[in-house]
Structure 1
Amino acid sequence: MTTALQPPLPSHPVLRLRLAPRSDLPRSIDGAWWPRSYDLLVELPRLLAGLPREWGHITSVTVNGAVWSAAPGRILVSNQVVRLRRAQAANAPHTVVLLAPGRGRWDLVVVPPDTAEDAAEPLMAAAAGALGEG
């Protein structure tokens, strides 16, 4: 009798993030993030851990307050304080803004967590490509 071994499940789900290629031109959108839930305390540390190192330490994150779960004004991520801001931006309900002092600002489209994969993939590709130009 043989037993097939199952590969262990990853302890952390794969980050669903797609970033626009580096460019010297300013962009209105820098990529797309597809979180698994609207729980900032769970999702934000995963996002910040997966960002490019050259972005530096993100100290401030702004999200749509009407969409994301309640969270404190600051959280500790990798032993660093990150300030959470909640905006009621009707013009950008599905974005997250990341700030790193002296490094820059990055705006990511947030694909709603309950979006089906076949619908999410084109949204992420568009945010990281043609829609990110400009």
Structure 2
Amino acid sequence: MPVTIDRTTSSRRAPPQPVRLSLTPAPGGLDGMWWPRSRALTRELPTLMAALVDHWGRITGVTVHPAYWPVVPHHVSVAGRTVRVGWSIQAQDPHRLTLSLPDGQHRDVLVIPPETGAEAAAQLMADGGGDAPAREEATDGFDARIREEAWESDGGAGRPSFLSRPIGSTGPSPAGRRR
């Protein structure tokens, strides 16, 4: 039985959507705000970094807090080169993304959770991140869902002990067990 494969529709990709970004400096030393469309760093970071190259130049590294990103890759590909991605639970605010530049400077960007409503996100971006209560209000619903999901998936056990140890620590966890 002959089979015909139509590759015209499968080879076409939708054009990338514009980055939802504001480079208005905000309180707390923030250099801008970013409202990603998802929590997939491998999909979202290349688009963000491509948009920032005209403003800040080449980005050599990114640091995130792992609490809100389901997968933190070791690197992402941007315009044919590799950018290192790291994470920190102690030095990194959960709603902040730190971008490293070749000259050693850093740029901090507030991450507005993708689940935030369009009106709240637009307001945060329009007023330079607003004050702390406005930011907290926009992100509290997401934080509560994450805490509840963690509680449910851990059987109510709470935060895994390996997240309570300092990064790079190989000593016993706070509960006295080795992992």
TM-score (norm 2): 0.58
- Identical counterparts, % of pairs: 40
- In 1, distance between residues paired with 2:56 and 2:100? 9
- Quote how far apart the aligned CAs of 1:49 are: 0.8
Alignment match, 1:123: 124
1:20 aligns with 2:24: yes
Alignment match, 1:114: 115
Considering fraction of residues, name the structure with more helix. 2
Letter in 2 for 1:75: V
- Which secondary structure does the structure 1 equivalent of 2:119 belong to? helix
Moved over 3 A (4+): 126-131
- Measured on the aligned residues, the alpha-carbon RMSD in Å equals 2.5
Gaps of 5+ in 1: 1-9, 22-26
- Quote how far apart the aligned CAs of 1:52 are: 4.3
Considering fraction of residues, name the structure with more strand. 1
**Cα contact 1:20–1:129 (8 A) shared by 2:** no
Of structures 1 and 2, the larger Rg is shown by: 2
Aligned positions of 1:2-17 closer than 5 A? 11-17=15-21
Cα deviation code 1:44-95 (max 9, x no counterpart): 0110011142412101101111111213312221111111011214872111
TM-score (norm 1): 0.76
**Cα contact 2:31–2:109 (8 A) shared by 1:** yes
Letter in 1 for 2:79: S
**Corresponding pairs, count:** 118
- In 2, distance between residues paired with 1:95 and 1:61? 11
**Cα contact 2:40–2:69 (8 A) shared by 1:** yes
> Which fold has the larger relative contact order, with Cα–Cα distance below 8 Å and residues 6 or more apart in sequence?
1
- Quote how far apart the aligned CAs of 1:121 are: 1.2
Gaps of 5+ in 2: 1-13, 133-179
